[in-house]
Amino acid sequence: MSSRILVPIDGSEESRLALDHALAQFPGAHIILLHVIEPFPDHTKAGGHTGGRAKQVFEKGQHLLDEMVERENEYTGTVTTELIYGRPVHAIPRYVETHGIDEIVIGSHGHDGTARLLLGSVAETVVRRAPTPVTVVRPIDKGVKDGYHPPEHVAVPFDRSFCSRNALEYAFEQFPDATVTALFVKSPLFEAYEPIESEDDLNDVLADGEETENETHDVFEMARQIAEQHERGVETATEEGDPSRGILGWLDENDVDHVVIGCHGRDGVARWVLGSVAETVVRRTPVPVTAIK
């Protein structure tokens, strides 16, 4: 169970939602509110003046953190604050590495007004670089920002890979009251059609189809075994086609409150690359999503 939770705070509504999420999802944990002061020019020192810009920036950051702490005086765990200086895309992952952070909860975008989903944002960079699980929080319903509600239905893209197994276990541990669905996307056997020139060709095609069905059975059997280890049940679902499109399409058609996804699948890619399935899902999923390393 995560015990040291980092919540980057910049005053945006999304960062406030991230704090609401962390407080509700991790009762009794140590939550660290981190505000990063970005590099800025201090023109007030020009012409021999003493300068007051640094004082203003410091006081503004400290006031923001103090305000956030005051809002949460009923939390059963501990809430502390940290003010640091640097570029958020570099400072946040580095802070995580050096301070024993177990998980990050971050808003989908911050005060820069970026309305697009994560591309080029601090949140995406943190998801890529941080060595811990990262939960990206965004308003489930645009225009309706009424805080955190425990998810009732959690979806986990699952393909038997190490990361997807970790993701499924995380879902069972962190969301004990939610329905969990393991979603497997089957790649199509043929793009258009398969030429048949002999009976052997036809038998080969049929055998490939049986192999795919066996693979689906094996994937869901592993999901059920993991569920049994956690004394839980698990629902299963399948889609066909491109994994990213299959996952996002299924999410669009089903009532899901939270997604938990492993950082990579059976292709063995151990890093986050632009265009990967996990990164695409994190970018485009309209509900909170947790990326598991």
Walk along the chain (293 residues) in steps of 10 and give the mean pLDDT of each run: 87 89 92 92 58 83 91 84 93 94 87 43 86 86 56 94 93 96 78 64 63 77 96 94 90 95 59 63 89 89
Rounded CA separation 223/237 (Å):
11
- pLDDT value at residue 210: 56
Nearest C-alpha neighbor of 67 from the set 111, 10, 18, 139: 10
pLDDT at 142: 44
pLDDT at 257: 92
Q: What are the structural domains, with CATH classification, of the chain?
A: 1-148 (3.40.50.620), 150-293 (3.40.50.620)
- Measured CA angle at 41 (ends 37, 46), to 5 deg: 140
Region at 236 (left for phi over 0; alpha for psi -120 to 50; beta for the rest): beta
Beta bridge partners of 197: none
Determine the pLDDT at residue 13.
86
The single residue listed with the structure tokens 């190490």 is 162
